Chains A and B, each alone.
Chain A
Amino acid sequence: MALLKIRNLTVEFETATGLFRAVDSIDVDVEQREVLAIVGESGSGKSVSMLAFMGLLPPTARITADEMMFDGRDMLTMSARDRRAIIGHDISMIFQEPISSLNPSFTCGYQVEEVLARHLGLSGKAARTRALELFDSVGIPEPERRLNSYPHQLSGGQCQRVMIAMAIACKPKLLIADEPTTALDVTIQKQILDLLMALQEEQGMGLIMITHDMGVVAETADRVSVQYQGKKLEEADVLQLFENPQHPYTRALLAALPENATGDRLLTVADGWEGQL
């Protein structure tokens, strides 16, 4: 059974100049233990579609879908209360800016324990012990000391590890990572990606990797979905996508990679593709 199945998801925003369609009839499928990468430029709706599924968009967003099934349960008709019990427990998300997604007024340990209290009912010593285990498992050095640190006392990479610790606290079945390494240095990026992949393999969770970096896609994904201006243009196995891209936009995107430069100038997406949609 598929872990996640979304059919015909559309998200629209009311703007001064009328409705803006940020996501246009998109289907998303994630199998158990699968890593799906959603690739696209800014404005392609790659983050918005996942935020809509998580119910994290403001009320001005109009979300419609024919079907939203997660792990055999229908997320569309579910009450808000039931949905809240799943989100943060079975589905969790990490974001691009680790330092700004943590609350600066509370210690890192407190914020992880909050998740444990809310979803698993752990408190006091039990919560502290579990938080310590989590910090250890995501490779935070000196975990005892870091439990009492505030986010500003940690580096960006360490904050992202705290976010990951929070996200995997309840052993989720699906983790959504929204540009988890974009704000980080390459060496830290490698560590975080290695950590995410190790956790994914160890816990057998589904992983959705939202990114604009084709290199990150090549190093993490099983399957890739390419989005542009709210539409899904192509979906393929990662090897197929790089070896034999079907859509002209995907071909143009791959040709625009600096490492694929042939000759003196890069092919731009505009020369290769614009107007062929």
Chain B
Amino acid sequence: MSVVLETRNVTRDYIVSGGFMRPARVIRALHGISFALEEGRTLAIVGESGCGKSTLARILTLIDPANSGDLLIEGQKIDITARKVTPDLRAKIQIVFQNPYSSLNPRQKVGEVLTEPLIINTKIPAAERRARAEAMLEKVGLQAAHYNRYPHMFSGGQRQRIAIARALMLNPKILILDEPVSALDLSVQAQVLNLLKDLQDEFDLTYVFVSHDLSVVRYFADEVMVMKDGEVVEHTSRDAIFADPQHEYTRTLLAATPVADIEKIRARQARRRALFESA
């Protein structure tokens, strides 16, 4: 197993304007994040809103640069401020966003959505672009006939399949999934998670799965990295984090996640019955 994605001490600052006659402030969103991810594995990044998990996802996808620290893809150091991102590099790492209602352009047909990455990054001729897009639609559980439809004609789950198809068009090695199922209904969520697992097996993909839902993470991830206020508080295997969380904050997160547990329901019912009978 080789390490395909690695960060060393990555930091990111945002400058917030202070308003009229006030100095701008610097907010450090990431305080030195380091991790290494092996090929074919799934790393879940967990934390509350504002903990820097999406900032990290954007740095990994080469959308935003890090302020300091190194990002390594397949052992190669990448600095997008020094050199423009090459099409080869773009083809290695892609992203799926949280909300499929806003991540697809409503004026683009599905076919245009899927072929655009090929037009920008490759010299593949039009006929083959179309063939590849149609094949990809079938791979993600849609039909080739959907090529000429607009995003509004699809449900949320289908749109997320389109967004996943778009991310896979360049045959990436690494896929960043920024809360890919949190905007979806429970029944659709299961389908999309299954699809992602199927695709991972088929294309040998490496996933970085950003999420705040620990029950999904428990099912989906191999290793879990818990973040708080721009820092990693715990990074270990999935089994270890759920069986024996080391950090206080991880325990708080686990305790706060609602679970459908029969024994817990029984205890709660008994307590409520006693309370209302005494009243």
Contacts and interface: CB of A to CB of B under 8 A. Distances in A.
Binding partners A and B:
yes
B256 A216 contact: no
Contacts of B219: 258-259, 261, 266
Contacts of A33: 276
B76 interface: no
Interface residues of B, number: 40
Interface string A241-259: 0110000000011101111
B70 to A, nearest CB: 30
Output the residue of A187, A188, A217 with the most chain B CB within 10 A.
A187
Contact of A218 (B156, B213, B214, B258): B258
A187 B50 CA distance: 13
B186 A257 contact: yes
Nearest to B275: A201
Nearest to A256: B190
Contacts of A256: 186-187, 189-190
Nearest to B216: A258
B259 interface: yes
Given A187-B48, A187-B253, A268-B194, A239 B262 contact: yes
A189 interface: yes
B265 A222 contact: no
A256 B190 CA distance: 6
Nearest to A187: B256
Given A33-B276, A204-B279, A214-B260, A253 B186 contact: yes
Given A258-B216, A265-B194, A186 B265 contact: no
A36 B269 CA distance: 13
Contacts of B256: 186-187, 189-190
A239 B269 contact: yes
Nearest to B252: A187
Interface residues of A, number: 41
Interface in B250-279: 252-253, 255-262, 264-266, 268-269, 272, 275-276, 279
Contacts of B156: 42
Interface in A86-129: none
Given A218-B264, A259-B260, A42 B185 contact: yes
Contact of B190 (A186, A193, A222, A268): A268
Contact of B257 (A215, A252, A261, A267): A215
A266 B264 CA distance: 23
Contacts of A257: 186, 215, 260
A258 B218 contact: yes
Contacts of B189: 256, 258
Given A42-B185, A219-B259, A219-B268, 20 more contacts: A33-B276, A41-B185, A185-B212, A186-B48, A186-B257, A204-B279, A215-B215, A215-B257, A216-B258, A218-B261, A242-B265, A256-B187, A257-B186, A258-B213, A258-B218, A259-B218, A259-B259, A264-B197, A268-B190, A268-B191
Chain A to chain B: the 5 pairs with minimum beta-carbon distance, closest first: A215-B258, A269-B187, A258-B219, A190-B256, A256-B190
10 contacts: A33-B276, A215-B258, A215-B260, A216-B258, A256-B186, A257-B186, A258-B215, A259-B219, A266-B194, A270-B187
Interface of B: 48-49, 156, 185-191, 193-194, 197, 212-216, 218-220, 252-253, 255-262, 264-266, 268-269, 272, 275-276, 279
